[in-house]
Structure 1
Amino acid sequence: MITFKGGNIESEEIISTLKKNIQIKEICQKIIYQRIINRAVEERGISVTPEDIQTVADQHRYENRLFRASDTFAWLTDQLITAEDWEAGIRDRLLAEKLAQCLFASEAKKYFAEHQADFDQVSLYRLVVPYEKLAQEIFYEIQEGEISFYEAAHIYDVDAQRRCNCGYEGKFYRWNLKPDVSAIVFGATPGNLIGPLVIDQTCHLLLIEESIPAELTAERYQEILNRMFSEWLATELNYLLSS
């Protein structure tokens, strides 16, 4: 039973609400994942110290401006949890992080080295018009210096947001684009105009502002590590369900 805003909520009602909102499967999956993690860390002798938990808790307090003990207790009460619940959650997350490092630290670096091209990016501008003839005319005007790509995108693009951004689409990986378009874009020299290309019955002019070579940053390393760990958990879950 949980007390919320002065009223009591029974466990059965919580479970019923999760079921009605189609959230029960997600919760059950998290429970099984935690069991898998607990078993794996025990087998490998991985542990979390009270100091580890305290460090994370202190960081959370700082980030959320919980400078006094009373602030922390008020936050815990608002979250409907106890200090023990909070620390147990921190412990579970730290165990998962340590297990992921144990299983895939070297594999993540190896994966990046073998798939480095997949992490290359381009900074892409796009101008989309409905007709190929218009696209061709704009292409020649840009090539002749009569108008800049950015001005043309601001005037002619069919999409209001892209007009406001003067054609800027953002940074893209190879896999963000259709294979045939990706091959053209990543083979182009930055600053050169590409097109017109017919994509989904509209005509596109593309401009690569910058090519961004892949780099194994801490963020990207963590992204690869998390994906490998998630795939491992899913595999372990499937094994349990089929055994």
Structure 2
Amino acid sequence: MQLLPMSEDATITPDDFVIQLKKNLQFRSVFEQILFQQIVDRVAEDRSLTITPDEIQAEADQFRATRRLERAADTYRWLEEERITAEEWETGIRDRLLTNKVKEALFGAEVERIFTENRVNFDQAVIYQTVVPYGQLAQELFYQIEEREISFFEAAHLYDIDAKRRHHCGFEGKLYRWSLHPEMAAVVFGASSGELLRPLQMGEHHHLILVEELIMAELSDEIQSEILDQLFQEWLRDELKDVIS
């Protein structure tokens, strides 16, 4: 590893990197990433999986287009700012592409089966939610929203116990069925799109939920990628245990 000159009076050594990673509790994460790549390289070699220069070039071109690095000079300037060489950048691209090839080779054939067996868990709902501490307040807000005395979004902005949700007027986003508490999943996916659900008590809090949209699962590219990544990450963790045991 080369020393990185910062100025005439300052130089960062490899030991400085290690110390900084440890001080910021990042050493283990980087250590595991190195081992992960070694595992990927080993499997790729066993399966004769390689990355061609054309594949690296295509990925690099796509990256440059995304970052608007239209001229070669723009790319070199970016590399200098990142303090890496063109060769190091290309090696990183190669590692990511090879990881994807290994992932597909190991688990690509299993994705459809996993999806079919767990299809219901991949249903999604776009919901808004307001969580308040008292049942009486939840009931009052429910009736006020129904009578259009206040909008759901105003209620969330004014009364939700979570600052982030208040800021987003109750928006929770597009959530998978498996990510919801079973009791909440049952009422959400038993509702209709656009329906305001009656207050639901969970623990000490009371939830008002607006179901904006229900999306029944199809094996999209997004879901396929998520299943593939989950299988791969589980496998990597098991492999890591064998390496460090």
**Above 0.5 in TM-score?**
yes
1:93 aligns with 2:88: no
CA offset digits 1:148-196 (Å, max 9, x no partner): 7x62552485227656766543322223322222222222233444323
Q: 2:135 touches 2:206 (CA, 8 Å); kept in 1?
A: yes
What does residue 42 of structure 2 align with? 39
- SS of the residue corresponding to residue 203 of structure 1 reads strand
For residues 168 and 21 of structure 2, the distance between their equivalents in structure 1, rounded to whole angstroms, comes to: 42
Where does residue 227 of structure 1 map in the other structure?
230
Residue by residue, what CA displacement relative to the aligned partner does 1:217-243 show, whole Å, maximum 9, x if unpaired? 21221121112111111111111223x
Greater mean alpha carbon deviation, residues 98-107 or residues 60-69: 60-69
Q: Which moved more, 1:220-229 or 1:151-160?
A: 151-160
2:116 is matched with 113
Corresponding residue for residue 13 of structure 1: 16
| Partner amino acid, structure 1, of 2:3 | I
Distance (Å, rounded) in 1 between the aligned partners of 2:22 and 2:205: 44
Match of 1:174 in 2: 177
- CA distance in 2: counterparts of 1:204 and 1:119, whole angstroms: 23
Matched, 1:53 2:56: yes
Structure 2: unaligned runs, 5 residues or longer: none
Alpha-carbon deviations, 1:115-144, whole Å to 9, x = none?
Answer: 11111112223344444344445545666x
Q: What's the offset of the Cα at 1:20?
A: 2.0
* 1:80 partnered with 2:108: no
- 1:65 has 2:74 as partner: no
Q: What amino acid is aligned across from residue 112 of structure 2 in structure 1?
A: K
Bigger mean CA offset, 150-159 vs 231-240: 150-159
Larger Rg: 1
**Which whole-Å CA distance do the structure 2 matches of 1:39 and 1:183 have between them?**
45
User: What do you get for the CA RMSD once the two structures are aligned?
Assistant: 2.5
Q: State the number of aligned residues.
A: 239
Change (3 A) 1:142 1:67: closer
SS at match of 2:198: strand
Query: How does the TM-score come out when normalised to structure 2?
Result: 0.85
Contact residue 191 and residue 208 of structure 1 kept, 8 A: yes
Shift of 1:86: 1.1
Aligned to 2:154: 154
Q: Can you give the 5+ residue segments of structure 1 that lack an aligned partner in the other structure? A: none
Q: 1:26 to 1:129 in 2, by over 3 A?
A: closer
Determine if contact 1:194/1:205 at 8 Å carries over to the other structure.
Answer: yes
Residue 52 of structure 1 deviates from its aligned partner by 0.9
Aligned residues of 2:145 and 2:151 also touching (Cα < 8 A): no
Q: CA 1:164–1:31 in 2, change beyond 3 Å: closer, same or farther? A: closer
Residues 162/110 of structure 1: CA separation in 2 closer, same or farther (3 Å cut): same
Preserved CA contact (<8 Å) 1:197 1:205: yes
* Kept after mapping to 2: 8 A contact 1:2/1:80: no
Q: Which moved more, 1:44-53 or 1:131-140?
A: 131-140
Distance change >3 Å, CA 153–CA 42, structure 1 → 2: closer
